[in-house]
Amino acid sequence: MSVQPSTEFHPRWYRAPVSTYWWMGSWRYSLFILRELTSVAVAWSVVVTLLLLRSLLKGPDAYAHFTHRMQAPWMLALNIIAFCFLLLHTITWFNLAPRAMPVRVGGKRVPEFLVAAPNYVLWVVASAAIAWFVLRKS
């Protein structure tokens, strides 16, 4: 059974043509599309991490080859760009948390800052702990 798009008594609805670049008309839409593109950087980071783990499991020679490959200028540039996209992804995600999960206390909505701030604090604490662990002298 097929549904006909229009009949004699129900004409086809008008749909205005939309440009492929509709999102470039507003900064908010551009930021939305840019944030969606950050998923590519997240996937890239996952692949690099999995390749790192694989090289560690294969032994010192494989790890040396992996680190040598990661030191190529184009690879460094790609990872720096991916890192910037990951920062954008994290910041926009933390800023969306209060809207995605509105918290109410005593019937009043908690300010967005108080919902987002713990995410940032935990991010800084975790980053500091990892930096201390990685950069400490043995």
What ranges do the domains of the chain cover?
A: 26-101
pTM for the predicted model, two decimal places = 0.76
Q: Give per-residue pLDDT as tens, 26-58.
A: 899 999 899 999 999 999 999 999 999 999 999
Q: Give per-residue pLDDT as tens, 55-83.
A: 999 999 999 999 999 999 999 999 999 99
Strands (E), the chain: 104-105, 108-109
- Pair 95, 77: CB distance under 8 Å: no
pLDDT at residue number 22 = 86
Q: Yes or no: is domain 26-101 CATH 1.20.1300.10?
A: yes
Maximum Cα interatomic distance, the chain, rounded to a whole number of Å:
82
93: its two tokens: 């995600």
Highest-confidence range of 12-21, 72-81, 103-112, by mean pLDDT?
Answer: 72-81
Q: What is the DSSP letter of 102?
A: -
Q: Which residues of 47-79 are buried (b: 16+ CB within 10 A; e: fewer)?
A: ebeeeeeebeeeeeeeeeebeeeeeeeeeeeeb
Burial of 119 (0-12, 13-18, 19+ CB in 10 A): middle
User: Averaged over 106-114, what is the pLDDT?
Assistant: 90
Residue 107 DSSP SS3: coil
